[in-house]
Amino acid sequence: MLIKKSNDIPSSEITDESVWNNRREFLKRLSAVTGAAAIGSVLPACVSAEPAPQAAAAKPASGKFDVDEPKTPEKDVTNFNNYYEFGQGKDEPGLNAGKFKTAPWTVRVDGVKKPATYALDDLLKLSTLEDRVYRMRCVEGWSMVIPWHGYALADIIKKLEPVPSAKFVEFRSIVAPDQMPGQRDPFIGLKWPYIEGLRLDEAMNPLAFFAVGVYGHKGPNQNGAPVRLVTPWKYGFKGVKAITTIRFVERAPRSTWMDQAPSEYGFYANVNPNVDHPRWSQATEKRLGGATSLFGALLANPQRKTLMFNGYSDQVASMYAGMDLKANY
């Protein structure tokens, strides 16, 4: 991927949802005709395959949420992480998170019909396991394409039945300084637990995802195991990891990064090439991984244009209609 020229994807080129649905329909008919496995077993398998060429009917198509761009290699996805609980360096989470204990794991859920502490498996059971290939755009100006393994958040929320007054949902990450060196490091200016939040309609958007792993399997810990949030139209820091608490609330939660630098990180944190970070531009980004040589990685990987809502405008733009996105960064 690094050899080819930067390929910005105008939203016009993103496959329309109806086309995807048609393809699913086609596959369904195909399986009915051929007596092949039921569609449910065909689709998850597709994700681990390379992105299928548009017309290759023989090859399984990817799911309707999948981005048709080269995936960032697993070793890059799992060794280049921002997860300050395990250290500031991009390589530190991969080096330090191995022994992090992710089982047994419970999640406290409040602001719902029946507030309770769930065993993680019981919570996830409310949805179905699937794989989705999403773009990931970090607020620092780099991006990846990551195959997430997890659950649609909306399914879980629906079954939890938030109280009618709930307008927002707050997620809290674990506090475990004994296991997380970053939480013991006085030079990391963040407060723990790591807190993030979404408007309820954002959390219910079909794209919002609870990931338990990458590349078709659970884990690894440095990518947020045992469960993390993925909102691909927002900057990566919204993806709170190792979630222990979910609260449905009336007022917008104050997130960790809002607390750290309110002028730089807002509640929405939607990917927006037209609204710069106060200290750097967000107009372009660096797509990481996939080079076959260091030479290529250095000299044949120009900046690419950042897409509005990270290329997910069709799915999310309507949620922000009429909003001043400069003020609501």
- Choose, by CB under 8 A, the member of 281, 318, 323, 326 that binds other proteins: 281
Q: Tell me: does residue 252 bind other proteins (CB under 8 A).
A: no
187 vs 322 by CB, closer to other proteins: 187
The residues near 238 (Cβ < 8 Å, ≥ 6 apart) are 196, 198, 229, 231, 255, 269
23 vs 241 by CB, closer to other proteins: 241
104 vs 295 by CB, closer to other proteins: 295
Rounded Cα distance between 221 and 101, Å, is 9
- Choose, by CB under 8 A, the member of 18, 21, 54, 88 that binds other proteins: 88
In degrees and rounded to multiples of 5, residue 182 shows phi and psi of -65, -30
Q: How distant is the alpha carbon of residue 273 from its chain centre?
A: 18
In 3D space, the residue among 115, 194, 184, 123 whose CA is nearest the CA of residue 153 turns out to be: 123
Coil, strand or helix: which one is 65? coil
- Choose, by CB under 8 A, the member of 24, 64, 90, 125 that binds other proteins: 90
User: In the bound complex, what is the minimum distance in angstroms from residue 295's beta carbon to other proteins?
Assistant: 5
**Amino acid sitting at position 198:** L
76 vs 130 by CB, closer to other proteins: 76
Q: Taking CB under 8 A as the criterion, which residues in 296-325 touch other proteins? A: 296-298, 301-303
182 vs 232 by CB, closer to other proteins: 182
196 vs 202 by CB, closer to other proteins: 196
Query: How big is the site for other proteins, counted in residues (CB under 8 A)?
Result: 36
Q: Taking CB under 8 A as the criterion, which residues in 172-201 touch other proteins? A: 187-190
**Strands, sheet with 243-249, edge to edge from the N-terminal-most edge strand:** 116-119, 106-110, 243-249, 168-173, 195-199
CB 268 within 8 A of CB 255: no
Q: Tell me: does residue 7 bind other proteins (CB under 8 A).
A: no
Q: Tell me: does residue 262 bind other proteins (CB under 8 A).
A: no
User: In the bound complex, what is the minimum distance in angstroms from residue 194's beta carbon to other proteins?
Assistant: 12
CB 182 within 8 A of CB 188: yes
Helix (H) or strand (E) holding 29: helix 17-34
The residues near 62 (Cβ < 8 Å, ≥ 6 apart) are 46, 47, 49, 51, 52, 68, 133
In degrees and rounded to multiples of 5, residue 214 shows phi and psi of -130, 165
Q: Tell me: does residue 116 bind other proteins (CB under 8 A).
A: no
Q: Tell me: does residue 24 bind other proteins (CB under 8 A).
A: no
Q: Tell me: does residue 41 bind other proteins (CB under 8 A).
A: no
Helix (H) or strand (E) holding 316: helix 313-316
63 vs 141 by CB, closer to other proteins: 141
Rounded Cα distance between 307 and 312, Å, is 8
- Choose, by CB under 8 A, the member of 213, 220, 289, 311 that binds other proteins: 289
35 vs 186 by CB, closer to other proteins: 186
92 vs 131 by CB, closer to other proteins: 92
Q: Tell me: does residue 5 bind other proteins (CB under 8 A).
A: no
The string of DSSP letters for 3-21 reads: SSPP----GGGSPPHHHHH
Residues engaged in binding other proteins (CB under 8 A): 72, 75-76, 79-80, 84, 88, 90-91, 140, 142, 144, 187-190, 260-261, 276, 279-281, 286, 288-289, 291-298, 301-303
